[in-house]
Structures are given as C-alpha cells and as structure tokens.
C-alpha cells in the first residue's frame, strides 16, 4: 500500500502540513500568481521605457543603454540602418539588480510580518498553548511555521526566479556566483525569520501592532543598507557599523555587477566593499570571501536565535536566554564588532578615527545590553520563588550563593549583566590602551560612564519587573527606552549641546559625546552620582526580594499548618 505524499509530510512535520493546508487554497493561489507576474511585467515595462526610441521625429535621444554616443552632447547616435545600438548586457544587468533588491526586501519585510502576525493570531485564539502541549518538538513546530507561514511568498518568489536567472545569464554573470548569492539570501532569510519568531513569541502584550512594528523596523534597516550599498556614496564607514553589511546579500550585488561589467567608476560600491577588513583580514577582497563570511555570520545568529526559541517556546515564563548563553552571546558580539573597528581610513587622523570607531561600538553595545536586560531579567513569580529559596537556604555557603547569582535561572539579572559588561570591557580595554594621547583616556572614561549607565538601566528594569501589574514587562521596556531616547531629544530641543553643558550629557546614554569637554571634577562627580544611584536601586531591590521571600515563606507555612489541621 502506497503512502500519499501529504501523509509522509505530515509524519515528518505535522505543523508544516497544517500550515500548508491552511494557505495553499485555490483562492490564495489565484491571488499570488497574478501578483508575481504583474510585478515582473511592471519592472520590464519600466526598463523598456528607458530604451532609446527609434522615433524619426526626435531630434536627439538620450539613454544610458546606447552603445554609441556623440562626444559633444552625449546623445545617442544611430547606426547605418537608422537604429540605436542597445547595450543589452547593461539593460539585463539593471533588471537583475532591481529584481534582486525588490525580491529580497519583499522576502524579508513581508515574511517577517507574516510570521509575527501568525504567532500573534495563534496567541489570541489560544491555539498556541495547544501547540505547546503537543508532543512535537520546538524545532518541528517552529520550522513548520518558518517554512509554511510564508509559503505564498515563497511561491511568488519562485515564479520570479526564471526571469531573475534569465536576466543574470543575459548579463553574463557566472552561474556559480548566482548560486552563491542565492545561498546568502537563504541564510539571511533564515536569520531574520528566526529573530522574527522570537519577537513574535515575546511581544504578545503589544497586540496586533507588533507585526507592523517588526516589519517596519526591518524595512528601515533594509532601506539604510540598500542606500549605503547602491546609493553611489560611501558604502563603508570603516567602523563597526560595517558589520551590518554581512546581514544583507545586497552587499554582494556590486561584486555580481563588477563580474558582468567591470567598470569601477560606475559601480563605486565595489571598490569600497573590496576594502572591507575584519581584524585586518580582507574579507571584502573577493565575492566568495564576502559571501562566506556573510553566510557564517547569518548562520551564527540564526543558531543563537534557535537556542533562545528552544528555551522559551514550551516554557513562556522562562527567560529568553540562560545566563550561560548570554556570556557566549556577548563574547561573539564583541569579537565581531571589534574586528571591524580596527579599520581606519588613510589620510585621516588615526586617533580621531579610532575614537569614532569606539563610539560606534558603544552604540551597538547599547542595543546589545538593552536586549540582554529583557532576555535575562526574570519576572515577579520567578523572583519570589528565588527569594523564598534563598531565605530557606540561609546556611548555604557564600560561594554557592554567588554561583546561583552567576548561573541561576531565577536569580536577578544584575550580576549576569555585570559579568557580560566585564566580558565586553575585557576586550575593549586592551585595544584602547594602545591609543596614543588623551583620546585613550577619554575613551576609558566614556566606557566607565556607559558601564555605569547600563547597570542602572538593568537595575531599573529588574525593579519594575517586580511590580504587581500585569503589563510590567511593557512598563519596564517603555521606561528604559524613554531613559535612553528622551534626554538627547530634550537636550536638542533646548539647544544644550555637549560643548555648552557637558555635565548633563554625561548622564545620558551617550556620554562619549561630552567627555572631551568635561572637566575632571565633573567626571568624578558624575561617576560618584551614578554609583550612588546604582546603590540605592539595588538596596530597594534587595529589600523587596527579602520581603517577598518572607511573605512567600509565611504563606507556605500557613498553608502547611491548615493542611495539617484538616488531616487531624
């Protein structure tokens, strides 16, 4: 007896079969097919309108696709038959490039929106908890989501694939480079889709707005990366910000374009990206080195994202990361961005270039530690359990208590955030110590102020997560975001530049902007104020934990006493 293909698919991944049955309906297919074909037709019509017209009444014709132009005015010149010779290789290359850009942006923006909105819908209907209780593994369920939810989008992309390949072959792009480009596209989609699944699982409190927020952030990121790569300006900043190019396969387009038409003055992005280095390794020197490094980078973050998904899918109350995982995450992050920070531009002041690279590192670390605060901070019930356990084990050794703070699942996150900061500092300080002059001292001061601020933000977030309100996670995220974003906006509206009032900028999330103008007395007073604030916050947190442990222990003892009386 033969087994139907759908039955085999259901045995392999029941969640994928469920998603396919819900989406591959005739009505949806009849919508997806025309969308893909119409989009391709509009793109071809747009480029066809840019070809030189053989209209005999036109006195002069201008087109970038003419093979012959007059040397004086640059208008197209007809051949002996009265036609305009067309550079079809250039035309098909532009079709290939813009189809790649539109296709990749659609895959990421629409795909992340579909995944996040699907998880939000499942959460609202209550079916997500039913899926959690099923015997399927996390990998089976979420891979079924990842492959099945955007299936119509995959179909639209597959229908555009013949035109994309035909344009590439007509532009004389090597086939192996096209396959390498597709491999990086797949790795990038896997990375961002995995991050979208995490965001969809942890942002249920936002409601239906979460999908638009996630896809909007993705569109903004892709717009910036596309503008840097294809905008005709400087594709590289020679800072840690260049690391973001590794998430986008669009950074490979200049290499494909150069393989088709090697004209560096036309495609300046190629000459820029070819100088990209990481710890002085020329990863941008060739297409394959850039593609390999991009695929490894996307694969690394996709792997880390799946570790978080496996941890929190079946146990929504657990923290997104374990403390052990956070230390590995911070180490990987710091190594990656520090490797790009070693780049400097020739003809510029090296010390100022290094400090500029350092400010990019601090900004990227601000995003990292904001994420770690959310990923490591346990909520009220977990903290109550930990406080009760700690109260009952008062006789335990100091070493055991410290180990619990460093590795424990339910212990407060401040010690773990501090250790992650220590990992980052241990990698940055040796680099800063090699700088000549006063800039190195200013960088160390900015690093100290930033570390203090990160610890203060983590303490505030942990304290707010101990509130009794149901929306405590939203309150904590909003408060920390406001503390980061609002001060610079207020200072800007009041025209309080770092040169005028350095003291107030030292208390913002961007103290590096004012360390050059701040006096030693101002810096010392700022550090002392930060330490005092940090001490007060942790005294309050310790007090609440002690009270919670006492009340939880008392309630447990009263419950045991009542149970004993009933049994008697």
The 3-state secondary structure of 201-236 reads: HHCHHHCCHHHHHHHHHHHHHHHHHHHHHHCCCCCC
Q: What is the three-class DSSP state of 432? A: helix
For the chain, what is the radius of gyration of the CA atoms? 28
DSSP assigned state of 468: S
Q: Which residues contact 274 (CB under 8 A, 6 or more apart)?
A: 284, 285
> Treating both helix axes as pointing N-terminal to C-terminal, what angle do 350-376 and 439-464 enclose, rounded to 10 degrees?
10
Using the structure block, give the residue that is written with the tokens 């039955």: 7
**Which ranges of 24-126 would DSSP assign to H, the alpha helix?**
26-48, 88-125
Instruction: Estimate the share of the chain in helix, then strand, then coil, as percent rounded to the nearest 5.
Output: 75, 0, 25
Q: Is 76 within 8 Å of 68 (Cβ atoms)?
A: yes
Q: What is the pLDDT of residue 39?
A: 93
pLDDT for the residue numbered 2? 44
Tell me the three state secondary structure of residue 274.
coil
Dihedral of alpha carbons 289, 292, 298, 304, sign: negative
CA distance 547 to 543: 6
Residue with tokens 């800063």: 432
Task: Provide the CA 445 distance to its chain's centre, in angstroms.
Answer: 28
CA 483 to CA 474: how far, in whole Å?
14
- What 8-state DSSP symbol labels residue 53? P
Secondary structure of residue 32 in the 3-state scheme: helix
The pair of three-digit structure tokens given for residue 391, joined into one six-digit string: 């109260």
List, for residues 362-404, the tens digit of each pLDDT value. Answer: 999 999 999 999 888 887 787 777 777 766 666 456 677 788 7
- Please name every residue paired with 76 in a beta bridge, in sequence order, or none if there are none: 69
Give, in order, the Cα–Cα distances in Å from 124 to each of 135, 205, 317, 381.
Answer: 22, 10, 17, 23
CA-closest candidate to residue 460, choices 405, 413, 528: 413
Distance between CA atoms of residues 406 and 238, nearest Å? 36
Q: Which of 36, 294, 33, 301 is nearest to 184 (CA)?
A: 294
Alpha carbons within 13 A on the beta-carbon side of 85: 9
Residue 46's SS3 state is: helix
C-alpha span between 301 and 417 (Å, rounded): 20
Structure tokens at 263: 């004209």
Rounded alpha-carbon distances, angstroms, from residue 311 to 15, 305, 318, 320:
19, 10, 7, 7
Query: The tokens of 190 are what?
Result: 């896997």
DSSP 68: -
Q: How many CB atoms lie within 10 A of CB 42?
A: 10
Tens of pLDDT, residues 114-165: 999 988 888 888 888 888 888 888 888 999 999 999 999 999 999 999 999 9
Give yes or no for a contact between 193 and 115, defined as CB atoms under 8 angstroms apart: yes
Contacts of 247 (CB under 8 A, 6+ apart): 188, 191, 192, 225, 294, 297, 298
pLDDT tens-digit profile, the chain (568 residues): 345 666 677 778 888 888 888 888 999 999 999 999 999 999 999 998 888 876 655 556 777 788 777 766 667 777 767 677 888 888 999 999 999 999 999 999 999 999 999 888 888 888 888 888 888 888 889 999 999 999 999 999 999 999 999 999 999 999 999 999 999 999 999 999 999 999 988 876 566 678 888 899 899 988 888 887 776 556 778 888 889 899 989 999 989 988 888 754 444 666 778 888 999 899 988 999 999 999 999 999 999 999 999 988 888 888 888 899 999 999 999 999 999 988 876 656 778 888 889 999 999 999 999 999 988 888 778 777 777 776 666 645 667 778 878 888 878 888 999 999 999 999 999 999 988 878 889 999 999 999 999 999 999 998 888 887 777 888 888 899 999 999 999 998 988 888 888 888 999 999 998 898 888 899 999 999 999 999 999 899 888 888 876 664 555 455 454 554 555 4
The per-residue pLDDT for 454 is: 94
* Per-residue tokens: 137: 């593994």
Q: How far is CA 283 from CA 117, 180, 229, 255, 273, in A?
A: 37, 15, 16, 13, 9
End-to-end Cα, the chain, rounded Å: 64
What is the C-alpha to C-alpha distance for residues 139 and 414, in angstroms, rounded to an integer?
A: 31
SS3 for 192-209, per residue?
HHHHHHHHHHHCHHHCCH
For position 438, what pLDDT does the model report? 85
Q: How far is CA 512 from the centre of its chain?
A: 24
pLDDT at 482 (0 to 100)? 92
Q: What does the alpha-carbon distance between residue 54 and residue 47 come to, in Å, rounded to a whole number?
A: 16
- Please give the pLDDT value at position 264: 46
**What is the sign, positive or negative, of the torsion defined by CA atoms of 37, 39, 40, 44?**
positive
Predicted confidence at residue 201, as pLDDT, reads 86
* Angstrom distance (rounded) from CA 296 to CA 355: 28
């Amino acid at each position: 007896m033969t087994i139907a293909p759908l039955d085999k698919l259901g045995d392999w991944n029941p969640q994928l079969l469920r998603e396919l049955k819900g989406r591959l309906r005739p009505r949806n297919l009849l919508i997806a097919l025309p969308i893909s074909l119409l989009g391709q037709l509009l793109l071809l019509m747009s480029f066809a309108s840019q070809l030189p017209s053989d209209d005999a009444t036109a006195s002069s014709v201008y087109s970038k696709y003419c093979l012959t132009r007059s040397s004086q005015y640059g208008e197209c010149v007809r051949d002996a038959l009265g036609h305009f010779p067309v550079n079809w290789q250039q035309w098909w290359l532009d079709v290939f490039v813009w189809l790649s850009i539109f296709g990749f942006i659609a895959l990421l923006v629409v795909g992340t929106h579909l995944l996040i909105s699907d998880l939000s819908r499942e959460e609202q209907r209550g079916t997500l908890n039913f899926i959690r209780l099923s015997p399927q593994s996390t990998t089976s369920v979420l891979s079924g989501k990842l492959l099945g939810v955007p299936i119509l989008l995959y179909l639209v992309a597959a229908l555009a694939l013949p035109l994309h390949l035909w344009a590439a072959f007509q532009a004389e792009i090597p086939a192996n480079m096209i396959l390498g480009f597709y491999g990086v596209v797949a790795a990038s989609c896997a990375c961002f889709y995995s991050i979208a699944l995490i965001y969809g699982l942890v942002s249920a409190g936002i409601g239906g707005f979460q999908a638009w927020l996630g896809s909007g952030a993705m569109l903004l990121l892709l717009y910036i990366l596309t503008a840097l790569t294809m905008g005709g300006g400087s594709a590289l900043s020679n800072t840690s910000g260049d690391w973001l190019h590794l998430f986008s396969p669009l950074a490979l387009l200049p290499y494909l374009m150069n393989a088709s038409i090697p004209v560096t003055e036309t495609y300046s992005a190629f000459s820029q990206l070819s100088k990209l280095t990481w710890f002085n390794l020329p990863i941008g020197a060739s297409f394959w080195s850039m593609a390999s490094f991009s695929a490894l980078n996307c694969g690394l973050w996709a792997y880390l994202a799946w570790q978080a998904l496996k941890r929190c899918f079946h146990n929504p109350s657990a923290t997104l990361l374990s403390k052990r995982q956070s230390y590995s995450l911070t180490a990987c992050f710091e190594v990656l961005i520090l490797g790009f920070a070693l780049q400097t531009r020739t003809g510029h002041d090296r010390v100022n270039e290094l400090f500029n690279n350092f400010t990019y590192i601090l900004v990227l670390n601000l995003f990292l530690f904001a994420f770690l605060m959310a990923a490591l901070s346990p909520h009220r019930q977990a903290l109550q359990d930990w406080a009760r356990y700690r109260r009952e084990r008062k006789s335990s050794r100091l070493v055991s208590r410290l180990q619990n703070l460093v590795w424990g699942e339910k212990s407060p996150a401040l010690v773990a955030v501090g250790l992650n900061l220590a990992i980052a500092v241990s990698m940055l300080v040796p680099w800063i110590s090699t700088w000549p002059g006063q800039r190195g001292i200013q960088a160390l001061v900015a690093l100290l102020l930033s570390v203090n601020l990160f610890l203060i933000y983590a303490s505030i977030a942990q304290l707010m997560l101990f509130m009794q309100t149901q929306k405590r996670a939203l309150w904590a995220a909003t408060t920390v975001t406001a503390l980061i974003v609002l001060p610079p906006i207020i200072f800007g509206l009041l025209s309080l530049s770092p040169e005028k009032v350095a003291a107030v900028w030292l208390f913002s999330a961007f103290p590096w902007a004012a360390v050059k103008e701040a006096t030693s007395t101002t810096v010392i007073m700022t550090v002392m104020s930060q330490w005092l604030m940090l001490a007060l916050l942790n005294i309050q947190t310790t007090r609440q934990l002690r009270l919670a442990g006492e009340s939880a222990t008392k309630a447990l003892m009263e419950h045991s006493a009542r149970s004993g009386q009933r049994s008697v």
